[in-house]
């Protein structure tokens, strides 16, 4: 989808999302975008980075933002959102069709203080970085709930929910670091070649927000990993205890099985012809079982 061009203050903004093949052709024919540019901005696996091409007169910014897989389980991955400044025109690309990203763009558009395309990019980047914080707080709340449940009874579904949080934080950790690297690099690029005080402050604000997000994700990841490792150890210990009990029962049941197996053979055995031989066999089995349990106890196996 290519929304109608918006002429804002001193720049022109063209908003796009979920581009089709004919729309990509239109962007190339009507606005002079190249195949390489289109490939960059439509690739859902593209990593965060900044590109400046003096020959084509373009600046490209790609950042990663949260993408919901399962809201109830707080399962997220990250997807790219792109900004392209081409010959003074600003293009935004929301290939995942995220409504909340479009809402951020519209909020920035309505801000009377945003008077240039680079200011639009920086203000939008700040808001996109800020979008992680509410999700991280929700993850913290969910993690605390799971910690309480697991302390009472470590059930598989709760351990699975904890693993979903670890997966989400893994994706977020990678994206947050890449986003921060991009913002840290901008002061050294063409983007900051012409920089006034307002632009510098906006870039600093976006960088500080990205750093805060990265720090929050790092801390939360460490806490979740430690909780998960703790309960993995508990589950493993419980499994070991279960296997230990089953092994002991197997050993004790093997004793009477062996003895009765001998006396079940069609051969002459001691005491086999006595009338109370079966009582003797039971007594012998019990004595050997007791001896086995005492031996295991002495060797601290039970």
Any idea where the domains of the chain sit in the sequence? 6-237, 240-298
Q: Report helix, strand or coil for 246.
A: helix
CA distance 200 to 119: 10
Query: Has domain 6-237 been given CATH number 3.40.50.300?
Result: no
* Cross-strand pairs, 89: 12, 86
Q: What is the structure's pLDDT at 207?
A: 93
Q: What is the structure's pLDDT at 33?
A: 81
Q: What is the structure's pLDDT at 24?
A: 81
Tokens of 204: 């600093």
Q: pLDDT tier at 294 (50, 70, 90 boundaries)? A: confident
CA distance 284 to 117: 93
Sequence-separated (6 or more) residues with CB below 8 Å from residue 32: 86, 87
Q: Regarding predicted confidence, which is higher, 191 or 302?
A: 191
For the whole model, what pTM was predicted?
Answer: 0.77
Helices (DSSP H) in 71-111: which residue ranges? 99-109
CA distance 141 to 286: 55
Mean pLDDT of 145-174: 82
CA distance 59 to 32: 14
pLDDT in tens, 215-254: 999 999 999 888 877 776 666 666 666 777 677 777 777 7
* Cross-strand pairs, 80: 64
> What are the angstrom distances between the C-alpha of 147 and each of 72, 142, 153?
17, 9, 10
């Amino acid at each position: 989808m290519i929304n109608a061009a918006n002429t804002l203050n001193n720049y022109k903004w063209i908003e796009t999302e979920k581009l089709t093949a004919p729309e990509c052709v239109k962007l190339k024919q009507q606005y002079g975008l190249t195949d390489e540019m289109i490939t960059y901005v439509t690739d859902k696996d593209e990593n965060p980075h900044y590109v400046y091409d003096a020959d084509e007169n373009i600046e490209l910014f790609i950042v990663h933002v949260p993408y919901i897989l399962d809201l109830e389980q707080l399962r997220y991955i990250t997807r790219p959102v792109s900004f392209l400044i081409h010959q003074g025109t600003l293009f935004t690309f929301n290939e995942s069709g995220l409504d909340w990203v479009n809402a951020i763009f519209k909020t920035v558009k309505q801000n009377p203080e945003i008077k240039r395309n680079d200011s639009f990019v920086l203000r939008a980047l700040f808001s996109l970085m800020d979008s992680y914080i509410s999700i991280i707080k929700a993850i913290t709340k969910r993690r605390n709930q799971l910690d309480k449940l697991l302390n009472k009874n470590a059930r598989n579904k709760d351990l699975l929910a904890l693993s979903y949080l670890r997966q989400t934080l893994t994706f977020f950790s990678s994206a947050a670091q890449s986003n921060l690297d991009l913002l840290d690099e901008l002061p050294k690029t063409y983007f900051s070649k012409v920089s006034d005080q307002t632009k510098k402050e906006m870039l600093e604000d976006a960088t500080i927000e990205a750093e805060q997000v990265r720090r929050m994700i790092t801390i939360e990841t460490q806490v979740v990993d430690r909780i998960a490792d703790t309960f993995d150890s508990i589950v493993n210990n419980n499994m070991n205890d279960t296997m230990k009990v089953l092994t002991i029962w197997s050993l004790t049941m093997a004793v009477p099985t062996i003895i009765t197996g001998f006396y079940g053979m069609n051969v002459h055995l001691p005491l086999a012809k006595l009338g109370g031989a079966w009582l003797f066999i039971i007594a012998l089995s019990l004595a050997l079982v007791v001896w086995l349990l005492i031996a295991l106890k002495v060797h601290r196996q039970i």
